[in-house]
Structure 1
Amino acid sequence: MNLEKREIIIKEIQYWRNNRLLPEQYCDFLTNLYDDEAAAKDRNPISLKNLQQGNIKIWLFGFGIISLIFLISLYFSVFPWPLQLATALSVLIICYGYSAVYRNRNHVISLILAGLGSVLSLGFGLWLIALHDLDPQLWRPILIGACGLLWCILGFVLRIGLLQYCGYAFWALLYAGFFGGRRPEASMLELELLWLPLCVMMVWLSWLIHHKVKGVASVFFAVGVSLWMMPELDALLLRQDYPQWISFMLILKIAVGLALLFLFRKKWITWVAT
Structure 2
Amino acid sequence: MDQEKRALIVKEIEHWQRSKLLPDHYCDFLLNLYRDPEASGTVVQQERKRKIVESNPLHWLLLIGSIGLFCYVGLHFSLFPPLLQIGVFLAVVLAAHGVSAYFRNRKPLLSYALFGVGAGALLAGGALLLGDESGAGAAGDWTAPAFYIACCAIIWIAFGVALRVPWIHLCGWIVLMFVYSAAVNRIVAPEGWVALELSWVPLAGVFGWIGWLLSRRAKQSGAVFLILACLLWFVPETYAYAFTEQPLAVTQSLMLGKLAALGATAFFFRKLWTEWVV
**Shared fold by TM > 0.5?**
yes
Deviations 1:208-238 (A, max 9, x none): 112213531111111111111111112223x
TM-score normalized with structure 2 length: 0.74
The aligned counterpart of 1:223 is 228
Q: Residues 100 and 58 (structure 1 numbering): CA distance in 2 closer, same or farther, change over 3 Å?
A: farther
- 2:142 aligned counterpart, secondary structure: helix
What root-mean-square deviation, in Å, do the aligned CA atoms of Structure 1 and Structure 2 show?
2.5
| C-alpha contact (below 8 Å) 1:50/1:58 kept by paired residues | no
Structure 1 residue ranges without an equivalent (≥5) = 1-29, 33-46
2:248 aligned with 1:244: yes
Output aligned runs, 1:149-188, within 5 Å.
149-188=154-193
How many pairs align?
229
- State the alpha-carbon separation in 2 of the partners of residues 119 and 52 from structure 1: 35
Which of 1 and 2 has higher RCO (CA within 8 Å, sep 6+)?
A: 1
Structure 2 residue ranges without an equivalent (≥5) = 1-18, 22-44
- State the alpha-carbon separation in 2 of the partners of residues 193 and 168 from structure 1: 19
Q: Residues 126 and 31 (structure 1 numbering): CA distance in 2 closer, same or farther, change over 3 Å?
A: same
| C-alpha contact (below 8 Å) 1:202/1:220 kept by paired residues | yes
Give the stretch that moved more between structures: 113-122 or 55-64: 55-64
Output aligned runs, 1:195-274, within 5 Å.
195-237=200-242, 239-245=243-249, 246-273=251-278
Amino acid in structure 2 at the alignment position of 1:168 = W
| C-alpha contact (below 8 Å) 1:51/1:58 kept by paired residues | no
Q: CA deviation at 1:266?
A: 1.9
**Percent pairwise identity:** 28
Deviations 1:53-85 (A, max 9, x none): 314476455434422320221110001111111
Indicate the structure (1 or 2) with the bigger Cα radius of gyration: 2
TM-score normalized with structure 1 length: 0.75
Q: Residues 134 and 107 (structure 1 numbering): CA distance in 2 closer, same or farther, change over 3 Å?
A: farther
Q: CA deviation at 1:89?
A: 0.9
